[in-house]
Structure 1
Amino acid sequence: MHTSDSSDVFNQIHIDVARNATDDFNLFHDRNRWLRINHNPFKGPIALGFQLESLIEHKVFLYRQHHNENALISDKNLRFSNYQFSFVNAVKPGQVVSVDIKKSQLKEDPETILSNRITVKSGGALALLGYKKESKFALFLTNPDVPQFGALNQHPDRSFISGSSFFLKRKFITTSNAKNFLCGSLVDQDAFFDPFKNKAVFPEIFPCSLISSALLEKAVIEKHDFERNPLVYMSHKISIDRTYLAQLKSGDALYILIRQIPPESRKEGIGHAIDSPYHYECYGLMEDKTILYRALISLAPLEQILNSLK
């Protein structure tokens, strides 16, 4: 199923709205500061990675509706939504974005997984590829190693938790930011929020998108030079628990825990030739320490990517 839509075009205002809604201050998205990035090949601002995944989320939602798959997801108790994507190229303002969703594949052995392969093109060139999967259990970080830190609200925001390698970023979930993020992602906010029907359902990617802000805050404290050593996303692997997501309310605190981990060994596929140390284990915890989502995030220095293309 090809879900290309000639109206799916990110303009700079969409990028600004999405980055403001998530506190993403990466220079790559800034209409002025992109010029400061050393050897920036994109010649202008680019869309956010999570912004693209939010568009994918909605396209898959419409696909599930059209193919009557939501009943299957409910009957099989596939409570986890999983995103696995590799970033191939940047999406620039003004380019038509097309999302191609392949036919759903249902696997029931050894456990039930409903899966779709997805490709995203921008301006006719491949930008993103991977999978969206529904499962009964989380597909990534299946055995989360989150120490008992006590009450998370007692730890200073934007700091490393004493005695651990985890960095803590506290964010507060609001409907206004979620609505703006959806608008910036070319998604109709009425699909999630309707004050006349007392409907407020937070989209899956929005709380995950706050990972970018946490990574940036961590880098600031570590005195990373964003201009001389810019980093770009290589891959996202995310598992989010829809049961806990349904309990999320405006004003709730979200505690994002991040720590650097050794890279996964990759012998083939996109980015296999890039040996980058920027790999992170991320968790989004609710006030009661319930794990809303877990994610593996990989970045690489822009210089290494450019060198690998020579």
Structure 2
Amino acid sequence: MAYIRELAMYEMSSDVFTQLHIDVARNATDDFNLFHDSKHWHKIKDNPFQGPITLGFQLESLVEGKLADFRRAADELDLIGRHKLNFSNYQFSFANAIKAGQFVEVEIKPSQFKNAPSPMLSNRIMVKSDSNLALLGFKKETTEPLYLADSDFSDWHDLRRQPDRSYLSGGYFLKRKFMTTSNAKNFLCGSLRDQTEFFDELQDKVIFPEMFPCALLSSALLEKAQKKGHDFEKNPMVYTSHKISVDRRLLSELKSNDALHILIKPADNSAEHDFGEPSATALDYECYGLVSNDALLFRALISLAPLEIILQSLG
């Protein structure tokens, strides 16, 4: 049995990312992808965007904020708490890039709630740039993670003892980051969001937004490729899709400077190879963010494709 909450579609057409917003977001997450660099974007081979573009996680953070406003306006927070919908799930496909100075519209369709086979609250989302589709997908609140639900690292040894940027058993690449409030604040500002909703030193208020720890995946993937000697200028890669599940209970317990251990390995259907090899194809990565006691804060399936393949598909 499902019902649809009859709330008007939420749409904002006045948001604009400047180059400063892009720089703040990439600096806050250590994202050194040349696609976002105002000084070096032109070095990318066959770059079709003719200028720096916004970060994928930056756009998703904007969506996160719009959804939070939508949930409050629709009085859905009690519904989420009553049904113990503790997991936030994001599923997005990237259709186009958004450049600095372009208008951004976020469209959220009316909420749909299903109580069987398990409770789920979901919304379809579209992000447009100057009326062109840029991002398409869903946000779903569930009792269990929708992606990589069977993953379990409870029997692993303490990841704090493992060297940063090392390879572990099972082919996992480890990147260690830290949950700093200053970076989270800057990431929120870069995502056109109000940092005071999450942080207030005078009130001892520290709440990390859902997308901030996930956004650190970009730097982890870049460092993994860099360690393999990847040429970012000749063989650029772009995101094609993100599937992310975040445990809000663990997120609410995070404190400033807590360690975040990011584990990355190719998905079962993706053979590991360097992005620059002649046989390079699209790659799917299993990505995990673990916090204290090796608890899973987030799980993600991140899909990347060589820019050359994207250009070929466009004709």
Deviation digits for residues 13-42 of structure 1, max 9, x if unmatched?
000000000000000000111111000000
Aligned length, in residue pairs = 299
- Distance in 1 (CA, whole Å) between partners of 2:221 and 2:10 is 32
Q: Is the aligned partner of 1:30 residue 2:56?
A: no
Cα offset for 1:209?
A: 0.4
- Distance in 1 (CA, whole Å) between partners of 2:10 and 2:194 is 16
Structure 2 counterpart of 1:109, from 112, 116, 119: 116
Cα offset for 1:5?
A: 3.1
- Distance in 2 (CA, whole Å) between partners of 1:66 and 1:172 is 33
Instruction: Tell me the residue number matched to 1:196.
Output: 202
Contact 1:3 1:98 in 2 (8 A): no
Structure 1 counterpart of 2:127, from 120, 125, 132: 120
Q: Is the aligned partner of 1:282 residue 2:287?
A: yes
Deviation digits for residues 229-263 of structure 1, max 9, x if unmatched?
10000000000000000000001000000001244
- Distance in 2 (CA, whole Å) between partners of 1:43 and 1:260 is 31
Corresponding residue SS for 1:139 = coil
- Distance in 2 (CA, whole Å) between partners of 1:199 and 1:30 is 33
Structure 2 counterpart of 1:40, from 47, 54, 61: 47
Structure 2 counterpart of 1:294, from 282, 291, 299: 299
Cα offset for 1:2?
A: 4.1
Instruction: Tell me the residue number matched to 1:72.
Output: 79
- Distance in 2 (CA, whole Å) between partners of 1:241 and 1:145 is 14
Instruction: Tell me the residue number matched to 1:84.
Output: 91
Alignment of 1:299-310 (within 5 A): 299-310=304-315
Letter in 1 for 2:252: A
Letter in 2 for 1:276: T
Contact 1:54 1:185 in 2 (8 A): yes
Alignment of 1:122-201 (within 5 A): 122-144=129-151, 146=153, 148-161=155-168, 163-201=169-207
- Distance in 1 (CA, whole Å) between partners of 2:10 and 2:269 is 34
Contact 1:169 1:255 in 2 (8 A): yes
Instruction: Pick closer, same or farther for the CA change 1:173–1:94 going to 2, 3 Å.
Output: same
Cα offset for 1:6?
A: 4.2
Tell me which moved more, 190-199 or 180-189: 190-199
Cα offset for 1:192?
A: 1.2
Tell me which moved more, 248-257 or 190-199: 190-199
- Distance in 1 (CA, whole Å) between partners of 2:27 and 2:51 is 18
Deviation digits for residues 180-233 of structure 1, max 9, x if unmatched?
000000001111112232221100000000000100000001111111110000
Corresponding residue SS for 2:146 = coil
Instruction: Tell me the residue number matched to 1:232.
Output: 238
Corresponding residue SS for 2:11 = coil
Letter in 1 for 2:66: K
Cα offset for 1:4?
A: 3.5
- Percent identity between the aligned chains? 59
RMSD between aligned residues: 1.4
What stretches of structure 2 of length at least 5 have no aligned partner? 1-7, 271-279
Cα offset for 1:121?
A: 0.1
Structure 1 counterpart of 2:264, from 258, 271, 278: 258
Instruction: Tell me the residue number matched to 1:19.
Output: 26
Structure 2 counterpart of 1:223, from 209, 229, 233: 229
Letter in 1 for 2:182: S
- Distance in 2 (CA, whole Å) between partners of 1:253 and 1:181 is 18
Instruction: Tell me the residue number matched to 2:274.
Output: none
TM-score for both structures, normalised by structure 1: 0.94
Letter in 1 for 2:89: N
- Distance in 2 (CA, whole Å) between partners of 1:106 and 1:5 is 24
- Distance in 1 (CA, whole Å) between partners of 2:46 and 2:231 is 14
Contact 2:240 2:305 in 1 (8 A): yes
Contact 2:109 2:124 in 1 (8 A): yes
Contact 1:263 1:276 in 2 (8 A): no
Cα offset for 1:277?
A: 3.6
